Every structure is written in structure tokens, then in C-alpha cells.
Amino acid sequence: MSEMNTLAGEENVNSATPAAPDAAPEITFADLGLAPELLRAVTDQGYTKPTPIQAKAIPLVMAGKDIMGGAQTGTGKTAAFTLPILQRLLPHASSSPSPAKHPVRALILAPTRELALQVFESVKGYSKHTPLRAMCAFGGVDIRPQIEELRKGVEILVATPGRLLDHVEQKSVSFAAVQALVLDEADRMLDMGFIPDVTRILKMLPKERQSLLFSATFSEEIKRLADSMLKSPVLVEVARRNQVSETITHRVHPVSEFSKRSLLTKLLKSGEITQAIVFVRTKQGCSRLARELQRSGVQADAIHGDKSQLDRIKALDAFKGGATHVLVATDVAARGLDIDDLPYVINYELPHVPEDYVHRIGRTGRAGKQGNAISLVCAREVGYLVEIEKLVKRPIEQVDVAGFEPEAEYEYPPGNKKKRSSAPVKAPVAQRPERSERSERPARGRESRKSTIAADGFDFSKPYEEPRADVPDSPQALPKVDPHKPKRVVAALLGGLGRK
């Protein structure tokens, strides 16, 4: 039985048959029965021993079994389905230039452009010593070059659901020869709303095919999806669900909400953190935090769903190349990011769903390397922290930073308020960028008003006063006119002097 044996009393998902016991630690790729061309490619990449999920899944997939795989990112699951699928396609490999000799035989669906490219690079790397062709189709770029490549013929098509349906509408892809389907990171497909698209695609595929589904979690929706696409699947799990790597060091910095950005800037400039992904909950907050870090002198960029594909590619390439030290990201946008040797993950805002904490920090501490997960937690986030600790089954160390105390109402655990100043911590002006960038304004009291004196000497800045009784209401009275005195002759307007 698979490592699900460690989950005493837990149901088998989808009534799937558990996999065989873990392979012996000394097993090598050569022991798995892979073709020489594939073994050569594996050796070229420096691998000799398979990871646990590779050791379990590769023989099953090569035997034609449907698989329901439970695996987090960083476990080697991509090679776990890529290598055996290539092995099964080798009998159909052809060196002929004719497109008819290269129909789509394997379809791999991924939720994001980044994950699709990652899988595509894996397929290319492992198939480089074979005549098999592969391509990657994703949205946000011109579809015409993809159409031209499909017309030339490809055996392995890696695609995002939306762009694949675009090709269906363009009639640039045929599924008639599809023998294998892989749905990678099905839980994120669900989160991003792609399940209706996936369902449409499933209806277009041949019923006689091999299907593989991989997911970090198995919700009820994922189980229903598995029921619709898998036949007598074998369940393969390599780690307890939501288990985190033992190589990751966790710590929490309690801090007031107003002081979070200043503390983050301090940490990033301390010299301890050479590179990090900083997680926030919203797209607007993602862009805003990246701009604020840039103004503070931190090499930062943002990646989220509202960014164009080109901008996301540039941001990711700059981060991988070291030009950018900090990548601010949302959960959905960061899904599928594969970054080697990432030393730090920082939760600027705790996720509302505890499982997302596991997904976030799973990007560090991979392949036995040391990783660090830092969370900045304010008073209103303590409840989320407690739920995360329940999920990962461990308390997370809390480390106070001098000068960045949390609010007075910060309680951890809830009901055990720490003795702190009763006055809430006020954020300095410099911590509020929207205010610090404004010029100093004069005080608005009456003292700052300038006296305004009219030409006749009246001071408009003084309060209104009732007129004194000895002051006449009107100027000096006009002299009386004698009605019997003859009037002075004046010229008429148009007629000159009047006639006598």
C-alpha cells in the first residue's frame, strides 16, 4: 500500500486501488524498464535515482493504468508522468517529416502558462534523443505560430484549457489519435474556474485512452472530476496531505498592520534574504506593495492575474536571472512557478485558507535543501495562524522585532493576551507612502490665516461686529432743493439745446 498507510482511518479517494508498497531506496531509473533513449536523457540531466512518486507511478503508467496522484509541487511528479508516457509513445515515433506521422497522441493540461512551460521543458528534455515532437500552447500570445506548429505535427501537446479550446474553434487540432491524457494540478484548475473547460475537452477525447490526474488536495469537486475521467484508477500518494517539508524553518513576526511594510523592507534590506517570493491576497495589493518596495530601494516586481502574459514572462525571467530579488505574487498567479533554490517565502498577508499556506511555502526547501518561511501577522490574522498550525500540526515560533510591536489587542493564543502597551502603535508618517509623498501642509488654525485689509481700511479677517449707534447708516444727507428756483439749461441727448 502507498504511504496512505500513515493516514489511519482515512478513506481511499474515489475508491481507487492503493499503489504497491514504497520502492526500495536503492532503486535506479535503469531498474524501471525505461528505453535507452530516455535513460540517456535522464542521465544528461544528472539524475540517477527516482523520487518516491516516480518510483511508484512510472511502472504503473507504463503498464497502462489510470492514476490518481496526490503530490505537492517539488516532488518530481512531472517526470513521474512524462517519462512513462514517452515510453508508451516510442513505438509510434517516426522520423518522417509528414504531419500525418505525427498526430497528437498525448495531451497534457496545465492551469497556468508557467506550469505548462515547465512541463513542456521537461517533455523536451526527456525526449531529445527520440523523434517525438512536442509543443506548448497557452494564451496571451499570438495564436498563429501555434497553429503553424500544430499543422506540422506534434505527438505531445501541452496546453492550458482556454487556449486549447481556441485551437478547437480554429480547427487546428485533432484529438482522434489521443491515447493519453494528463490533468496536472487539478485543484488549481478548480480554483481558477477551468473545470467547465476541462469537461468540454474530455467530451471531445476518445473514450479508449489512459488518464492521469494529479492534485495536491482531493476536494469533493476533484473526486467528481476523477469519477468522470478515470477508470479503475490506482491511487498514488507520496506524502501525507498538507504535510510540509522538514527542511523548512517557520517563524512568525507579530506586527501591527500599519507597520507591516516597514518591517518587510527592513527584513529585505537586512542582508539575510537574498531572494524571496512575497505572498499577498489580492491583485491590487500585489501591485501596490511591489511599487512601495521599489520606492524603498528594493529590487521588486509583481506577478498576478491582471498582468499580461508578456509582463509575467518578463517578471519571472528577471527573478530567475537575479535582476529582481523580490517577486510579489498572489496565490493563483504563483501556482506552477518552478524556481530552483528559492531560499525564502514571506507571507505578507496570511491566506484565509490554511491549505494555501502549505502551497505557498512548498516553493522553498525543495530537494532536501534548507528553506525559510516567514509570516508577518497582525492582530486580526491570529485566527488564520491558529488554523494553519492545526493543519500543519505544529506550533510556529513567534519572534518579536524591536520597534515593530503588534497592536495592543494581539492575542496568541486567543484569550492569552500578551502584556503590551495599552495604546495602539501609531504608524509613523514615513510608513504611509500615500502621505509621506505629500508636501508639508500649514496648520489649519486661524493663526495661519493672513489678514486681508480692504482699500477702505476694513479688515475682513476680523469677526463680524454690529455697527455702533453713533455711526450713520448712510452718508451725509443731501441739501434741500428749492422748487421755485429755475432749472439749469442742459443739452438734450440728440436734439441739442431745447427751443425757447
Model pLDDT for residues 99-135, shown as the tens digit of each residue = 999 999 999 999 988 889 999 999 999 999 999 999 9
Beta pairing partners, 276:
326, 344
Domain of residue 38: give its range: 3-237
Model confidence at 391, pLDDT cuts 50, 70, 90, reads confident
Tell me which of 435, 460, 486 is where a domain ends: 435
Examine the pLDDT at 433 and tell me if it is beyond 50.
Answer: no
Indicate whether 229 and 313 sit together in one domain. no
pLDDT for the residue 324 = 93
Indicate whether 12 and 101 sit together in one domain. yes
Q: 175-179, 241-245, 423-427: which has the highest mean pLDDT? A: 175-179
Q: Looking at the domain assignment, is residue 311 inside a domain?
A: yes
pLDDT for the residue 353 = 85
pLDDT for the residue 10 = 33
Quick: pLDDT tens for 248-290.
999 999 999 999 999 999 999 998 899 999 999 998 999 999 9
Model confidence at 243, pLDDT cuts 50, 70, 90, reads low
Q: Measure the CA–CA gap between 400 and 133, rounded to whole angstroms.
A: 55
Q: Looking at the domain assignment, is residue 217 inside a domain?
A: yes
Q: Looking at the domain assignment, is residue 285 inside a domain?
A: yes
Q: What percent of the chain has pLDDT above 90?
A: 51
Quick: pLDDT tens for 136-192.
999 989 999 999 999 999 999 999 999 999 999 999 999 999 999 999 989 888 878
Alpha-carbon distance values, 417 to 119, 135, 252, 395, 406 (Å): 48, 57, 16, 17, 11
Examine the pLDDT at 498 and tell me if it is beyond 90.
Answer: no
Indicate whether 227 and 362 sit together in one domain. no
Q: Mean pLDDT score of the chain, rounded to an integer?
A: 80
User: Three-state SS for 372?
Assistant: strand
Question: Which CATH number do you get for residue 72?
Answer: 3.40.50.300
Torsion sign over Cα 45, 47, 48, 50: negative
Q: What percent of the chain has pLDDT above 70?
A: 74
Q: Looking at the domain assignment, is residue 489 inside a domain?
A: no
pLDDT for the residue 45 = 87
Model confidence at 482, pLDDT cuts 50, 70, 90, reads low
- CA torsion, points 285, 287, 289, 291, in degrees to nearest 10? -150
Q: Looking at the domain assignment, is residue 167 inside a domain?
A: yes
Q: Which amino acid is at 155?
A: E
For residues 411-424, give the mean pLDDT. Answer: 55
Q: Which of 144, 134, 131, 135 is nearest to 97 (CA)?
A: 131
Indicate whether 312 and 196 sit together in one domain. no
Q: Looking at the domain assignment, is residue 479 inside a domain?
A: no
Q: Measure the CA–CA gap between 184 and 104, rounded to whole angstroms.
A: 18
Indicate whether 211 and 281 sit together in one domain. no
Indicate whether 282 and 318 sit together in one domain. yes
Number of structural domains in the chain? 2
- Please give the angle made by the CA atoms of 125, 128 and 134, to the nearest 5 degrees: 80
Q: Looking at the domain assignment, is residue 484 inside a domain?
A: no
Q: Measure the CA–CA gap between 120 and 128, rounded to whole angstroms.
A: 12
Indicate whether 229 and 276 sit together in one domain. no
Q: Measure the CA–CA gap between 435 and 437, rounded to whole angstroms.
A: 5
pLDDT for the residue 495 = 53
Q: Looking at the domain assignment, is residue 483 inside a domain?
A: no
Examine the pLDDT at 360 and tell me if it is beyond 80.
Answer: yes
